[in-house]
Chain A
Amino acid sequence: MWTIVHGVTTFFDGLIGLFGSMNPLVGLSVVSVITGGIMLVVWKFTSNQEAIADAKTKIGAYILEIRLFQADLGLQFAAQAKAFRANLKYMSLAVPPMLIVLIPVVIILVQLDVRYQRRPLLPGETTLFKVEVAEGVDPGDVTLTVPDGITVETPPMRMPSVSEVDWRIRADREGEYELTVAVRDAKFTKRVVVGNELTRLSEARDQAGILGVWMSPAEAPLPKNSPVRMICLAYPDREMKLFGVGLHWLLVFFVVSVAFGFAIKGWVGVEV
Chain B
Amino acid sequence: MGKVGFRLSTKKFAAVAALLAGGALVTSFTAPARAVEHKKMLVVGFDGMDPKQLRRMIDEGLMPNMKRLIAEGDFRTLGTSIPPQSPVAWSNFITGQNPGGHNIFDFIHRDPKTYIPYLSTSEAVSSDKSLKLWGDWQIPLGGGEVLNLREGEAFWEELEKHGVPTTIFKIPANYPPGESKKIRSISGMGTPDMQGTPGMFSYYTTHPMENADDISGGHVYDIYFDRGRATSAIHGPANPFHKSGEDSECPITIFRDEENGVAKVVVGDGDDEVLLKTGEWSGWIPVEFYMLDDDGFGGFVRPAAAPAGLAISGIVKFYLKSVSPEFSLYCTPVQIDPIDPAQPVSTPPDWSKEIAEKCGRFYTQGMPEDTKALEGGVFDDGEFLDQATRILEERIGLFKKQVDEFAAQDWGFLFFYFSSLDQQTHMMWRCTDPSHPAADEESAHYPDAIRHIFERLDYAVGYAREHLSDDVDLVIMSDHGFAPWYREVHLNSWLYDNGYIALKDPSPEAREQSDFFMNVDWRRTKAYALGINGLYINVRGREKYGTVAPGAEREALENELVQKLKELRDPKSGKLAIKEVYKSDDVYSGKYAKNAPDLNVGYNREFRGSNQSALGEFPMEWFSDNTGKWSGDHCIAADLVPGILVSNRKVRYNDPKLYDLTATILAEFGIDKPSEMIGTPVF
Contact = CB atoms under 8 A, between A and B. Distances in A.
Contacts of A168: 275
A128 B260 CA distance: 16
B273 A158 contact: no
A160 B227 CA distance: 7
B208 to A, nearest CB: 24
Contact of A128 (B227, B228, B273): B273
A74 interface: no
A167 B275 contact: yes
Nearest to B226: A161
Given A161-B227, A161-B228, A166-B264, A156 B257 contact: yes
Interface in B38-86: none
A157 B273 contact: no
A136 interface: no
Contact of B275 (A160, A161, A162, A166): A166
A77 to B, nearest CB: 38
A92 interface: no
B281 to A, nearest CB: 13
B262 interface: yes
B351 to A, nearest CB: 15
Contacts of B226: 161
B670 interface: no
Given A154-B275, A167-B275, A168-B275, A159 B260 contact: no
Nearest to B283: A126
Contacts of B277: 153-155
Contacts of A161: 226-229, 255
B255 A128 contact: no
B428 interface: no
A189 B355 CA distance: 39
Contacts of A160: 227-228
A155 B227 CA distance: 19
Contacts of B276: 154
Nearest to B276: A154
A247 B598 CA distance: 60
Given A128-B273, A167-B275, A168-B275, A158 B229 contact: no
A160 to B, nearest CB: 6
Interface in A127-186: 128, 153-162, 166-168
Nearest to A167: B275
B261 interface: yes
Contacts of B261: 155
A166 B260 CA distance: 12
Interface in B228-280: 228-229, 255, 257, 259-264, 273, 275-277
Interface in A196-211: none
Which residue of B226, B262, B263 has the most chain A CB atoms within 10 A of its CB atom? B262
B260 A157 contact: yes
B275 A158 contact: no
A157 B275 contact: yes
Contacts of A156: 257, 260, 262
11 contacts: A128-B273, A128-B275, A154-B275, A155-B257, A157-B260, A157-B264, A158-B259, A158-B260, A159-B229, A166-B264, A166-B273
Given A128-B273, A157-B260, 8 more contacts: A154-B260, A154-B276, A155-B262, A157-B255, A159-B229, A161-B227, A161-B229, A166-B275
